[in-house]
Amino acid sequence: MKRVMVATWDFGSKAVERGLSVLESGGSALDAVEEGIKVVEDDLEVLTVGLGGLPNFKGEVELDASIMDGETLRCGAVGALKHIRHPISVARKVMELTPHILLVGEGALEFALKCGFKQEFFWKPNAREKWLEMLEKIKREALGECSFYGKILKVMRDSWRETVSVIALDANGSMAAGNSTTGLFMKMPGRVGDSAIIGAGIYVDNRVGGAVTTGVGEIAINYCLSKRVCDLMSIGLNPQKACEKAILETLDRENFANGIAVLALNNKSEVGAATSLKEFTYAYQDEEMDRPELRKIKGILT
Ligand code: ASP
């Protein structure tokens, strides 16, 4: 089987490059996903992933992440986790060490500390400034009604949203998927997005393939988007057709008109992607390539 890594957005190229080197040195698909995501979590220029990035409305960074093993379907996730540099690694510990799938907030932090992760406090460059700027904008444009979240959402409609979501296929045909994010910029405190929800932001099954999402997480949760794409692949659609069909389905209703992207890789190394955003970029690398390739796609309605 040809080893393949795919990941969302331009910064996904760092994740796929690292992940592929893990696969090539004998690491598992799970290792490749975790190590690839850690590179992006550590990247000071990526404000939408990792500790110190873009915060919630109250100025606190609450992180979501999840990981899934396509061989066993075991999975682990954390939601609204604060002060931990590598939420993806905590998600993996939830999968490996607990009988649960999702830990959130205080409980997730307590678990992380028990596992030996350090509690840290720092901002990535410009993250705090961007939060303060956005607060000002909300005060101006939402007429001071900051307590009414609907108004806030209007102001921030086009603001930052970019999760690193990764799928790996190893030489034995084993697959894994994972993701990590600060979540929607200026989200309500306590809001957990698709990245922590198995079946919404992430799903993978060796017998078929995997799918991951990025964008407005509420859409992916509403439509169980990753699982939907895997189900479509399991009845014979190739990843491209499965992604397109699933994205078109999200446009059937008006409540979430646009704003989500899905990326899929099946167990035959075929890739697909579709989006209702204006455009979406993902990184692809297989073992025959020296470096990752960035692939840009247009929104399904453009
Ligand atoms: N899907 C993420 C969320 O809603 C955001 C993103 O992809 O940037 O939390």
Chain segment 52-61, per-residue pLDDT in tens: 999 998 999 9
Is 62 close to ligand 1, i.e. is its CB under 6 Å away?
no
Q: Which residues contact 302 (CB under 8 A, 6 or more apart)?
A: 278, 279
Q: Ligand 1: distance of its center to the CA of 201 in Å?
A: 9
Q: Residue 111 gets which letter from DSSP? A: H
Mutate to test the pocket of ligand 1, among 195, 222, 225, 258 (most ligand atoms within 8 A of CB): 195
Chain segment 135-183, per-residue pLDDT in tens: 888 777 765 554 556 666 665 666 677 999 999 999 999 999 999 999 9
Q: Which ligand 1 atom minimizes the distance to the CA of 220?
A: 1
Chain segment 17-68, per-residue pLDDT in tens: 999 999 999 999 999 999 999 999 999 999 999 999 999 989 999 999 999 9
Q: 149 in helix, strand or coil?
A: helix
For the chain, how many structural domains are there in total?
A: 1
CATH number of domain containing 126: 3.60.20.30
Tokens matching residue 207: 């017998």
Phi first, then psi: what are they for 291, rounded to 5°?
-145, 165
pLDDT for 116 equals 98
CB atoms within 10 A of CB 10: 15
Nearest-CA neighbor of 141 among 155, 130, 129?
Answer: 155
Tokens matching residue 135: 């607060």
Selecting among 163, 213, 275, 281, the annotated active-site residue is 163
pLDDT for 294 equals 98
Q: What is the rounded average pLDDT of the residues 91-116?
A: 98
Q: What percent of the chain has pLDDT over 70?
A: 92
Question: pTM for this one?
Answer: 0.95
Instruction: For residue 153, give its domain range.
Output: 4-298
Whether 163 sits among the annotated catalytic residues: the reply is yes
Nearest-CA neighbor of 184 among 49, 70, 7?
Answer: 49
CB atoms within 10 A of CB 135: 16
Tokens matching residue 192: 């957990």
Q: Ligand 1: distance of its center to the CA of 265 in Å?
A: 20
Is 184 close to ligand 1, i.e. is its CB under 6 Å away?
yes
Chain segment 71-102, per-residue pLDDT in tens: 999 999 999 999 999 999 999 999 999 999 99
pLDDT for 281 equals 97
Q: What percent of the chain has pLDDT over 90?
A: 84
Name the pairing type of β-strands 4-8 and 279-286. antiparallel
Name the pairing type of β-strands 164-169 and 293-298. unpaired
